[in-house]
Amino acid sequence: MKRKFFSSFSVLLVLLCVWTAYANVLSDDADVRAKARATVDQAAGCGDDCKLEGLRGDRGMLEERIEYDVVKHGRYVVVCRRALIVAGDHACEVTEQPSATRTPAPRP
């Protein structure tokens, strides 16, 4: 009985891992990228007028991390996660942004 339960549990666990990898890493993430971009535009305070110099991203089974280099505003890092690991909408938040107290370099 224990062996059958353990086998069933193992199969269920493998299927959950495969689904998580598909849902969070292999599937289309256009909606997540759109939410992340809206989040960074709001944090930078430039709305739809934000222009990007660079963009880097990393997708994992638990989160998607995107780094934006926004012209005249600096580097922002946005992390998007699902409410439940394999289901639910992604919520995005800025985890790193330029310091507001940083002073610009003097011009020659």
- Return the pLDDT at 102: 44
The sign of the torsion formed by the CA atoms of 28, 67, 85, 10 equals positive
Which candidate, 75, 69, 37, 36, places its Cα nearest to that of 53? 69
The answer to whether the CB of 86 falls within 8 A of the CB of 26 is no
Residue boundaries of the structural domains of the chain = 2-96
| Stated pTM of the model | 0.76
Phi, psi of 32 (to 5 degrees): -70, -45
Q: Show pLDDT as tens, one digit a residue, over the chain (108 residues).
A: 888 888 999 999 999 888 888 887 888 889 999 999 999 999 999 888 889 999 999 998 889 999 999 999 999 999 999 988 778 899 999 999 887 634 444 444
Tell me what pLDDT residue 44 has: 92
